[in-house]
């Protein structure tokens, strides 16, 4: 019995032994400035000196700021208190404040608007902090930067002396949440808004209707949510509270009501809107369904006019998203009345019929003073110029839209459910590289959005799907185009991830809990080590493999592993260092570290296998579990050859490569993130040159 008793106690100890002194970015007092900001500001000048954070810290707000900034300052103080453990005054100082916040222009509206001035400057010296902004939204961003600057340094926390001039590169910096396929309670939305504000994202694109659920209360048409949501929807009161919560953080809320496709849930209560007679029931199956609004009846537009009018009143933002994606036209093709209408109006294809529909909707929205946003599919020659195209296919739609004079929003590269790495999303630029857009056309691209589609997320797992990768997207949208240092991004991302954890996001804590549950014990040892080498397969592969529906429990190993886990980039750094250590003698221990890592995989595998034999949930990953120690052994063998300088036997490289390629094939629900670097080691070992780092 005692052999299992000490595991929990010893679990955290490993690393303290292997790498005895290592802390990220906590420079000692007086040390050179270490930039931990995310997103990077447009310009930063470090200066000598620093301002200690102690109980005498105080703040004051000058100029034309309103309640929004006062409340944000109180929140700032509370967060700084939790960060530093120093009890601080919550009310502004009458005079001589340490931090003075100056806002030039009074807020024109309680709600942020596209294109308002978000710039700020921040000056910190040994005695005081000056935060200056044109608008209160700029000041909110400055407070987030200031909080990120606070760092421990010996006997107190401090703010390093800096001069920062900052403004965003793009005005539309969004995150799309799909609450249609899986409902997300308000507290999830709120904490997501906290995370967005921390990294200066400023648009919550709220995907509120889907085949699988109609998530917003309509008082005009109560059967929409009444029959279309299984009781899981936001009341108008809740919607208004979310909008207020977002506005307090400088974030706009743009709702999406997807039409004419993805509309099954509308038709459960109002089948007369459909292009086939029905009856309809809320879908639990994912994918593209045939249900579509009937664009040929005036009664459809009368309904939509009343509904969109109600929503236009509920959502104060100037923009409204009508979806428009993936309307397959099948119901239209099968409906003689619709076919007759198309012939009568010279509409040859379902795309032309949808374009007609879009034009009608655009007119309705214009009357409610809303600009229309839609996915790529709404782009057509006669689309009103005012309409905004959100790009999710290849960028040709974005480029074409800009050529036709439309504003565009880039999303194609930022689909979080595709499990792109933080490096991938960070390097993807909203301005399509190599396109021949004129500067004026490029300016039509307003920014971008990270998209969190809802097939495989729950309120528990969503944070680890969004964070910290969305912070890398946010930096792409905010920081200068020249900011493309992936290694430095990852260094800061690790720090930002901890800061987001402090804000209450669960991207670190929930996966830990999920692994504990799978292991059935507080110390998950081998399972956590295994998990560190894995990421979820992307949306479509999981769907294919598991035949997921809205009802599938999301409690598997795939739900407990991180997209782009830290080990992926860490291995990349280590392998680069190990294979180039003649160029960088400081990293000559990289091979040793790699060896330690691989050895653990081999050692831990029996414990993992023993766990998997007993646990049905782990038996979904039997192949991955059996491949894991072999991957470790390949790494160990490669290191042995690299160290010895002796070439491996003939066929070794081919054999290992074949195994790595086998492990790279889609199988089960998780993917290894270590294969590229293992292949590099194998290839290097297969070269005969003795390695200088041995």
Residue ranges in 626-645 that form contacts with a copy of itself under rule CB under 8 A: none
User: Binding to a copy of itself by residue 439, rule CB under 8 A?
Assistant: no
Binding of a copy of itself at residue 611 (CB under 8 A)? Answer: yes
Nearer to a copy of itself, 384 or 566 (CB): 566
| Site for a copy of itself contains 486 (CB under 8 A) | no
Catalytic residues: 326
Angle formed by the axes of helices 186-198 and 486-502, to 10°? Answer: 140
What character string, x for contact with a copy of itself (CB under 8 A) and - otherwise, covers 159-198?
----------------------------x-----------
For the bound state, the minimum distance from the C-beta of residue 458 to a copy of itself, rounded and expressed in Å, comes to 9
Is the CB of 132 or the CB of 507 nearer to a copy of itself? 507
In what helix (H) or strand (E) does residue 691 lie, and over which residues does it extend? none
Site string for a copy of itself, 355-384 (x = CB under 8 A): ------------------------------
Residue 204: DSSP 8-state: E
DSSP designation for 216: B
Minimum CB distance to a copy of itself, residue 615 (Å): 4
- Smallest distance, Å, CB 150 to a copy of itself? 11
**With binding defined as CB under 8 A, does residue 497 bind a copy of itself?**
yes
- Nearest-angstrom CA–CA distance, 95 and 60: 8
Binding of residue 46 to a copy of itself (CB under 8 A): no
At 44, give phi and psi (nearest 5°).
Answer: -140, 130
> Residue 682 interacts with a copy of itself (CB under 8 A)?
no
For residue 81, state whether it binds a copy of itself (rule: CB under 8 A).
yes
What is the DSSP code (8-state) at residue 415?
A: B
User: Is 155 near a copy of itself (CB under 8 A)?
Assistant: yes
To the nearest whole angstrom, how small is the minimum distance from the Cβ of residue 81 to a copy of itself? 5
d(C-alpha 607, C-alpha 600), whole Å: 11
Does 17 contact a copy of itself by CB under 8 A? Answer: yes
- Contact pick of 222, 603, 666, 690 for a copy of itself (by CB under 8 A): 603
Check residue 336 for interaction with a copy of itself (CB under 8 A).
Answer: no
Contact present, 73 and 178 (Cβ < 8 Å): no
Cβ atoms of 554 and 617 closer than 8 Å: no
Contact assessment for residue 192 and residue 470, using Cβ atoms and an 8 Å cutoff? no
Say if CB 298 and CB 341 are below 8 A apart.
no
- Cα(317)–Cα(619) distance, integer angstroms: 48
Q: Is residue 607 part of the contact set for a copy of itself (CB under 8 A)?
A: yes
Report the C-alpha gap between 159 and 40 in whole angstroms.
Answer: 17
In degrees rounded to 5, what are phi and psi of residue 124?
-120, 125
**Choice between 264 and 556, CB closer to a copy of itself:** 556
Answer yes or no whether residue 650 interacts with a copy of itself by CB under 8 A.
Answer: no
Residue closer to a copy of itself by CB (options 60, 86) is: 86
* 389-392 long-range contacts, CB within 8 A, separation 24+: 390/321, 390/449, 392/325, 392/451
Site for a copy of itself contains 614 (CB under 8 A):
yes
Q: Check residue 585 for interaction with a copy of itself (CB under 8 A).
A: no
Please pick, from the candidates 352, 589, 637, 683, the single residue that binds a copy of itself as defined by CB under 8 A: 589
593 sits near a copy of itself (criterion: CB under 8 A): yes
- 142 counts as binding a copy of itself under rule CB under 8 A: no
What part of residues 510-549 is at the interface with a copy of itself (CB under 8 A)? 510, 512-513, 516-517, 519-529, 532
Please report how close the Cβ of residue 418 comes to a copy of itself at its closest, in angstroms. 24
Pairing between β-strand 151-153 and β-strand 156-166 as defined by DSSP bridges: antiparallel
Which among 524, 677, 535 has a CA at the least distance from the CA of 597? 677
120-124/129-133 β-pairing: antiparallel
Backbone phi, psi, residue 294, to 5°:
-90, 110
Q: Does 67 bind a copy of itself (CB under 8 A)?
A: no
Does 87 sit near a copy of itself (CB under 8 A)? Answer: yes
Q: Which is nearer to a copy of itself, 101 or 597 (CB)?
A: 597
Count of residues of this chain found to bind a copy of itself when the rule CB under 8 A is applied? 99
User: Helices (DSSP H) in 229-297: which residue ranges?
Assistant: 236-247, 264-269
Per CB under 8 A, 32 contacts a copy of itself:
no
Q: Which is it for strands 120-124 and 213-214: parallel, antiparallel or unpaired?
A: unpaired
Cβ distance to a copy of itself smaller for residue 553 or 649: 553
Among 84, 121, 209, 354, binds a copy of itself (CB under 8 A): 84
Q: Extract the runs of DSSP E, i.e. beta strands, from 357-457.
A: 371-375, 388-391, 408-410, 445-452
Name residue, tokens 């006669």: 382
Q: Which two tokens stand for residue 280?
A: 């309809």
């Amino acid at each position: 019995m005692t052999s299992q008793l000490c595991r929990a106690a010893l679990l955290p100890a490993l690393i303290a032994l292997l790498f005895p002194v290592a802390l990220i970015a906590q420079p000692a007092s007086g040390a050179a400035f270490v930039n931990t900001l995310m997103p990077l500001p447009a310009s930063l000048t470090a200066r000598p000196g620093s301002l200690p954070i102690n109980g005498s810290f105080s703040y004051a707000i000058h100029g034309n700021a309103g309640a929004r900034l006062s409340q944000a300052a109180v929140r700032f103080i509370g967060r700084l208190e939790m960060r530093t453990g120093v009890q601080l005054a919550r009310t502004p100082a009458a005079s001589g404040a340490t931090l003075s916040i100056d806002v030039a222009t009074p807020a024109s509206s309680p709600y942020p608007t596209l294109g308002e001035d978000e710039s700020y400057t921040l000056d910190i010296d040994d005695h005081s902090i000056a935060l200056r902004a044109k608008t209160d939204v700029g000041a909110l961003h400055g407070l987030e930067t200031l909080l990120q600057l606070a760092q421990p340094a010996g006997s107190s926390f401090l703010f390093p002396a800096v001069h920062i001039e900052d403004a965003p590169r793009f005005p539309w910096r969004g995150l799309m949440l799909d609450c249609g396929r899986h409902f997300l309670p308000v507290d999830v939305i709120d904490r997501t808004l906290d995370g967005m504000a921390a990294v200066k994202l400023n648009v919550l694109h709220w995907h509120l209707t889907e085949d699988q659920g109609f998530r917003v209360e309509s008082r005009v048409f109560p059967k929409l949510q009444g029959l279309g949501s299984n009781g899981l929807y936001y009341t108008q009161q809740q919607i208004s509270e979310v909008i207020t919560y977002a506005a307090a953080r400088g974030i706009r809320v743009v709702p999406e009501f997807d039409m004419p496709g993805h509309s099954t849930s509308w038709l459960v209560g109002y089948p007369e809107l459909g292009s086939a007679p029905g009856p309809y029931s809320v879908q639990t199956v994912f994918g593209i369904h045939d249900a579509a609004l009937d664009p040929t009846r005036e009664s459809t537009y009368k309904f939509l006019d009343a509904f969109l009018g109600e929503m236009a009143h509920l959502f104060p933002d100037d923009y409204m998203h009508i979806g428009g994606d993936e309307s397959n036209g099948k119901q239209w093709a099968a409906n003689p009345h619709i076919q007759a209408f198309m012939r009568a109006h010279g509409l040859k294809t379902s795309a032309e019929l949808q374009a007609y529909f879009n034009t009608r909707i655009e007119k309705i929205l214009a009357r409610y003073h809303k600009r229309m946003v839609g996915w790529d599919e709404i782009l057509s020659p006669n689309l009103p110029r005012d309409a905004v195209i959100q790009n999710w296919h290849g960028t040709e739609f974005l480029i074409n839209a800009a050529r036709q004079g439309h504003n565009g929003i880039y999303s194609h590269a930022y689909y979080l459910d595709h499990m792109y790495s933080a490096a991938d999303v960070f390097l993807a630029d909203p301005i399509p590289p190599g396109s021949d857009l004129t500067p004026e056309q490029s300016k039509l691209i307003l920014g971008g959005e990270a998209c969190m589609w809802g097939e495989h997320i729950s309120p528990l797992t969503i944070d680890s799907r969004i964070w910290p990768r969305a912070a890398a997207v946010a930096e792409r949208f905010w920081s200068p185009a020249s900011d493309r240092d992936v290694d430095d991004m990852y260094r800061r991302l690790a720090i930002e991830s901890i800061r987001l954890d402090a804000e209450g996001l669960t991207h670190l804590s929930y996966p830990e809990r999920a692994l504990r549950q799978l292991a059935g014990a507080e110390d998950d040892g081998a399972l956590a080590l295994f998990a560190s080498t894995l990421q979820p397969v992307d949306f479509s592969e999981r769907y294919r493999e598991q035949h997921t529906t809205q009802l599938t429990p999301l409690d598997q190993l795939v739900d407990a592993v991180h997209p782009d886990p830290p080990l992926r980039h860490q291995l990349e750094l280590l392998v680069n260092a190990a294979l180039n250590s003649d160029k960088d003698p400081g990293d000559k221990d990289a091979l040793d570290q790699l060896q330690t890592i691989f050895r653990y995989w081999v050692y831990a595998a029996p414990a993992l296998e023993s766990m998997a034999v007993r646990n049905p949930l782990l038996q979904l990953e039997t192949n991955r579990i059996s491949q894991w120690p072999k991957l470790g052994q390949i790494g160990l063998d490669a290191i042995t050859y690299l160290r010895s300088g002796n070439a491996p036997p003939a066929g070794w490289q081919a054999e290992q490569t074949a195994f790595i390629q086998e492990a790279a094939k889609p199988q089960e629900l998780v993917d290894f993130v270590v294969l590229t670097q293992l292949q590099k080691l194998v290839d290097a070992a297969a070269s005969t040159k003795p390695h200088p780092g041995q």
